[in-house]
């Protein structure tokens, strides 16, 4: 078993680390406080191939593998998880959707625009009344005689919704068929019938700009269908497997940042005449943080490796996402505790790590959903 990375993977990691340290970390506090979308930073990531890591070079991407995506997302997330959220959606959900199921024309038009950093993509599955139960969606796409579809409805919690030009949308085309009545569409936000609703005032990852989007008689052309009519649910579920690797990577980045800050702090902070890192209670925390961090990292890389080999990775992606997200939340919690009052203060990034970590247990499938996926895959019972 070889745990080493290739020169190409390490080169991409170095690019991500440099941008993360020089541009993202230095502005993270500002974007968290204001909730502004970090457009210039995102464009910089795009210009350096980090918004389309697994996209082949023929479509303007970096032509790298899933392990490269993991390494890059971890570096960006360690600087600011909100930037990594935007990055993960573009890499794991938007680009993968079009690459795996889109037509050649869709790949050339939409993937290239995202890969080159000129546009932002989004992924629209969730609705206010249908989160974990995607089959309960109410957004409707009614087929017309000319093959087009008229779309009406609303989607919620859309990452990059306020700024995205292109959106992968899932809408019900035949309610009588349940999950087999859902179809995927490519949406252009500049066309009539598309609207943006309120921006969500979030606890964490505040700079990732999340909002509702609305459709009022939006006309999707026949060539805007991604895959085939009725394949939307299958497409969405397959994409969420990849998305879970992205969120696991984000969680590892948050956990690493909180852990490294804690290790540095316990060496410097003194109490009762000695560094607090000499106290057994603190040592126990550091040891447990390290174990959880390494486990999350290795499980995430395992899922990415299986994907890169073209093998099934649904269970492994769920295991990685569940383990990494809960590790991030636990490690961030311990980091705040270790730092005491300073951990609770906005003068240090610990409280931001704590707030940002929570969402990793929720989106791309809650921890409860991950446990259900894992158990069903293991037992074969539904």
Three-state DSSP state, 304: helix
4 token code pair: 């080493």
Can you say how many angstroms the Cα of residue 328 is from the centroid of all Cα atoms in its chain?
15
Could you list the active site residues? 364
272 token code pair: 């009762």
Query: What Rg, from alpha-carbon coordinates, does the chain have?
Result: 21
125 token code pair: 């599955």
157 contacts: CB under 8 Å, gap ≥ 6:
126, 200, 210, 212, 363
345 contacts: CB under 8 Å, gap ≥ 6:
351
Question: What CA–CA distance (Å, rounded) separates 118 from 81?
Answer: 22
31 token code pair: 């974007």
Question: What CA–CA distance (Å, rounded) separates 313 from 304?
Answer: 8
165 token code pair: 């030009």
> Residue 165: how many CB atoms within 10 A of its CB?
17
Report angle CA 224, 225, 231 to the nearest 5 degrees: 165
Question: What CA–CA distance (Å, rounded) separates 44 from 34?
Answer: 20
Report angle CA 16, 249, 83 to the nearest 5 degrees: 55
Question: What CA–CA distance (Å, rounded) separates 329 from 357?
Answer: 5
Cβ-count burial of 7 within 10 angstroms (0-12 exposed, 13-18 middle, 19+ buried)?
A: exposed
């Amino acid at each position: 078993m070889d745990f080493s990375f290739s020169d190409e993977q390490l080169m991409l990691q170095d690019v991500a680390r440099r941008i993360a340290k020089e541009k993202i970390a230095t502005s993270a506090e500002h974007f968290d406080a204001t909730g502004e979308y970090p457009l210039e930073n995102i464009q910089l990531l795009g210009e350096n191939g980090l918004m389309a890591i697994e996209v082949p070079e023929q479509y303007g991407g970096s032509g790298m593998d899933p392990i490269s995506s993991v390494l890059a997302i971890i570096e960006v997330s360690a600087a600011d998880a909100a930037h990594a959220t935007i990055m993960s959606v573009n890499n794991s959900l938007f680009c993968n959707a079009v690459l795996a199921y889109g037509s050649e024309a869709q790949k050339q038009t939409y993937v290239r625009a995202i890969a080159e950093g000129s546009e932002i993509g989004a992924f629209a599955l969730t609705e206010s009344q249908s989160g974990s139960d995607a089959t309960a969606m109410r957004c409707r796409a009614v087929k017309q005689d000319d093959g087009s579809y008229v779309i009406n409805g609303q989607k919620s919690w859309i990452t990059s919704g306020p700024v995205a030009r292109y959106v992968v949308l899932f809408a019900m085309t035949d309610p009588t068929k349940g999950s087999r009545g859902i179809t995927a569409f490519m949406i252009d936000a500049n066309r009539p019938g598309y609207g943006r609703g309120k921006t969500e005032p979030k606890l964490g990852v505040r700079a990732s700009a999340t909002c509702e989007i609305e459709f009022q008689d939006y006309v999707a052309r026949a060539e805007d269908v991604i895959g085939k009519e009725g394949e939307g649910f299958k497409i969405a579920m397959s994409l969420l497997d990849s998305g879970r690797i992205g969120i696991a990577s984000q969680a590892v980045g948050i956990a690493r940042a909180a852990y490294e800050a804690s290790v540095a702090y316990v060496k410097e902070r003194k109490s009762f005449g000695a560094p607090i890192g000499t106290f057994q209670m603190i040592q126990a925390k550091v040891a447990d943080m390290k174990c959880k961090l390494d486990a999350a990292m290795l499980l995430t890389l395992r899922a990415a490796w299986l994907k890169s080999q073209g093998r099934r990775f649904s269970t492994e992606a769920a295991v990685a996402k569940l383990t990494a997200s809960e590790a991030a939340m636990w490690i961030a919690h311990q980091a705040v505790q270790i730092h005491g009052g300073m951990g609770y203060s906005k003068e240090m990034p610990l409280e931001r790590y704590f707030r940002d970590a929570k969402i990793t247990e929720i989106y791309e499938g809650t921890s409860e959903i991950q446990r259900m996926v894992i158990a069903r895959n293991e037992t074969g019972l539904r």
